[in-house]
Amino acid sequence: MQNKTVEKTISWFLFIGVPFTTLFLLVDTVTDPVNVTKLFAAGCVSIGVFSIALVHGLKELWATSKALIIASALFILASISSVINSVAPATQSIYGVFGRQTGFLTYLLLTLVALATTLLRTKKSFDRIIWALLFSGAVNVLYCGWVLAFGDFIHWSNPYGNILGLFGNPDFISAFLGMFIAGTIGYTFTSKLHWIYRGLFILFSLIALVEIKKSHAIQGLVVTGAGLAIVGFYLVRGKTKGNLFTGIYVGLVGIVGAFALGGALQKGPLTSLIYKTSVSLRGQYWAAGLKMGQDHPLTGVGMDGYGDWYRRARSEYAATVLPGPNTITNASHNVVIDIFAYGGYPLLLSYIAILAIGAWAVIRVTLRNRAYDGTFVALAAVWATYELQSIISINQVGLAIWGWVSVGALVAYEYSTRPIQESAEKRKAVKQKELIFSPQLVGGIGVVIGALIAVPPMAADTKWRSGLKAQNVQQVEAALVSSYLAPSDSTRLAQAVLLFENSKLYDQAYKLAQQGITFNPNSFDAWRVMYSISKSTATEKAEALKNMKRLDPFNPDVLKQ
């Protein structure tokens, strides 16, 4: 058995680090205030806690979580294979595309934090995960409430006109608030919970529900409904004997769910309430992602490579009718399909294995204990609602970290609540004096290493924002020079070409246009700006047009984009 100080340190790192990842953003120093900052925060917390697990808990980790370790190792290996075999630039595959940052590094960090979380053992540690969620949710609820009542004090671009929370997107904040409600209500029914806490939890949940409605994002209501249904199942099961009432409840929930699904598919009486055009759009995005994975079954198109391949993979109907030639996306709006597109069947199957391990942990605890367990129900509800929203939405680091931490926590909870822990009595507890390096020191070093690993996209964006703000040609050009702290990016290069072209700095625009197509010859935007600039020759325009048609074969007129 591991030293208690190790577990306590990991639990405190998670208690502080996971909310930090969800809440941390910068506005005036970067052009992307959300994704590069949350990736940086995730790097700090993930490498920090995994360093502790690696140095002080490796034997315990292997002894108790073999299945998750193996599935995670296969997932990471498949991700590496995708990076190596992808035709996309290495920096794009590693850090992800601008505005998403869901490349190899993100999934590596999420996997590592899930593995470290499996070392939790005590109820206090699991409760800290729930309290971390409650704190993160409360901050977002208060912020969204302030925005609705007085206006937004964060000066960022908001093309949606809806509340954004600290996620920069109404869909993400609605989904997170749905997860928050599910976890909060699940924990509210914990026995011996003080009535003040219970009242506050219900109050914040009601406010969050109103904010979900104000976000105008249907996925938040779907997530909330599913989360409350899960909590209701455990309440009914815990308060009744036999399976009759539980069976009736499951049947009723199943009927409501079937009607809701039918409404989303434009069938049944709930169509007018649930269906949105975005559902049909998602169908086209999903089809394109599935085609990417099927056409590249062993390696996929590269981590976060969906955007470069969308035009080639979409159907003729998608390119001409719905959503049409000018509607472009860099994600399928389904994390499972994104995974399939990124790495083919090896990445998909290893990811599904991780999901199955989480589901198996939930099933085992459920079958083992009929009494209502608020901590377990909250963890299960958060994990299940994250997975639900992940099949209808885009991945985002600040949201995804809860899904991965909760799967690790569920695996740990299942192990720690076994009546007899296999071979636990044979493993002697490690005494504190045997720890040469304290877990706090190891974790601190890990945080520094994680920061160095995850900071390049944020550093590059900071440098780019500074150049734009200064309106200095040399400073903008310097921001585009590739280095460790300034990895190249197709989006920034294309933006810079247009910036210089519009400023009549034609030589600089031409130079960067050439750099853009060399960096990523599969970027449609790189060829589009090469075609549009003044200094490109007739031969270069013809070559650019040829490549635009190659990358967007079903578009009847690529020049209209």
Question: How far is it, in rounded angstroms, from Cα 35 to Cα 393?
Answer: 16
Report whether 1 contacts 114 (CB < 8 A).
Answer: no
Mean pLDDT value across residues 392-415: 96
Q: What pLDDT, on the 0 to 100 scale, is given for residue 521?
A: 97
By mean pLDDT, which of 250-264, 410-424, 446-460, 480-494 is the weakest? 410-424
Structure tokens at 72: 């995670």
| Number of other CB atoms surrounding residue 137 within 10 Å | 24
Q: What pLDDT, on the 0 to 100 scale, is given for residue 263?
A: 75
Question: How far is it, in rounded angstroms, from Cα 19 to Cα 487?
Answer: 27
Question: How far is it, in rounded angstroms, from Cα 469 to Cα 478?
Answer: 14
Burial class of residue 373 in the structure, from the number of CB atoms within 10 Å of its CB (0-12 exposed, 13-18 middle, 19+ buried): buried
Q: Spelled out in words, what is the top-level CATH class assigned to the domain 489-560?
A: mainly alpha
Report whether 138 contacts 386 (CB < 8 A).
Answer: no
Residue 433 has pLDDT above 60, yes or no: no
Question: How far is it, in rounded angstroms, from Cα 237 to Cα 239?
Answer: 6
| Number of other CB atoms surrounding residue 325 within 10 Å | 19
Torsion sign (Cα): 172, 178, 181, 185 = negative
Q: What pLDDT, on the 0 to 100 scale, is given for residue 387?
A: 97
Report whether 476 contacts 499 (CB < 8 A).
Answer: yes
Residue 56 has pLDDT above 50, yes or no: yes
Dihedral pair phi/psi, residue 483, rounded to 5°: -160, 180
Helix (H, G, I), strand (E, B) or coil at 90: helix
Question: How far is it, in rounded angstroms, from Cα 256 to Cα 58?
Answer: 45
Question: How far is it, in rounded angstroms, from Cα 458 to Cα 107?
Answer: 17
pTM of the model as a whole: 0.95
Torsion sign (Cα): 488, 489, 494, 500 = negative
Mean pLDDT value across residues 52-68: 95
Question: How far is it, in rounded angstroms, from Cα 468 to Cα 507?
Answer: 18
Report whether 171 contacts 162 (CB < 8 A).
Answer: no
Structure tokens at 84: 């190596």
Residue 434 has pLDDT above 80, yes or no: no
Report whether 384 contacts 227 (CB < 8 A).
Answer: yes
Confidence of residue 155 (pLDDT cuts 50, 70, 90): confident
Length of the chain: 561
Helices 123-150 and 170-188: angle between axes, nearest 10 degrees: 130
| Number of other CB atoms surrounding residue 553 within 10 Å | 14
Longest alpha-carbon distance in the chain: 80
Mean pLDDT value across residues 62-71: 96
Question: How far is it, in rounded angstroms, from Cα 505 to Cα 497?
Answer: 9
| Number of other CB atoms surrounding residue 22 within 10 Å | 28
Question: How far is it, in rounded angstroms, from Cα 314 to Cα 325?
Answer: 10
Confidence of residue 158 (pLDDT cuts 50, 70, 90): confident
Could you give the residue range(s) of every CATH 1.25.40 domain in the chain?
489-560
Q: What pLDDT, on the 0 to 100 scale, is given for residue 162?
A: 87
233: Cβ contacts below 8 Å, ≥ 6 apart = 246, 249, 250, 253
The per-residue pLDDT for range 469-527, each reduced to its tens digit, is 998 999 999 999 999 999 999 999 999 999 999 999 999 999 999 999 999 999 999 99
Burial class of residue 368 in the structure, from the number of CB atoms within 10 Å of its CB (0-12 exposed, 13-18 middle, 19+ buried): exposed
Report whether 444 contacts 38 (CB < 8 A).
Answer: no
Mean pLDDT over each residue of the chain, to the nearest integer: 93
Residue 248 has pLDDT above 80, yes or no: yes
Q: What pLDDT, on the 0 to 100 scale, is given for residue 265?
A: 67
Structure tokens at 203: 């109050």
Question: How far is it, in rounded angstroms, from Cα 353 to Cα 358?
Answer: 9
Confidence of residue 160 (pLDDT cuts 50, 70, 90): confident
Mean pLDDT value across residues 118-125: 96
Residue type, 527: W
Report whether 48 contacts 17 (CB < 8 A).
Answer: yes
Helix (H, G, I), strand (E, B) or coil at 486: strand
H or E stretch covering 213:
helix 195-215
Give whole-number Cα distances, 540 to 254, 513, 514, 534, 536, in Å.
59, 11, 10, 11, 6
What is the percent of the chain with per-residue pLDDT over 90, rounded to a whole number?
Answer: 86
The per-residue pLDDT for range 262-310, each reduced to its tens digit, is 876 667 787 666 767 677 888 999 999 999 999 999 999 999 999 999 9
End-to-end CA distance of the chain: 61
The DSSP line for 9-65 is: HHHHHHHHHHHHHHH---SSS-SSSSHHHHHHHHHHHHHHHHHHHHHHSHHHHHHH-
Confidence of residue 4 (pLDDT cuts 50, 70, 90): confident
Q: What pLDDT, on the 0 to 100 scale, is given for residue 177?
A: 97
Torsion angle (degrees, nearest 10) of CA 520, 521, 525, 531: 130
Question: How far is it, in rounded angstroms, from Cα 545 to Cα 559?
Answer: 8
Residue 122 has pLDDT above 80, yes or no: yes
H or E stretch covering 453:
helix 439-454
Q: Which of 95, 6, 106 is nearest to 53 (CA)?
A: 6
Cis before 487? omega within 30: no
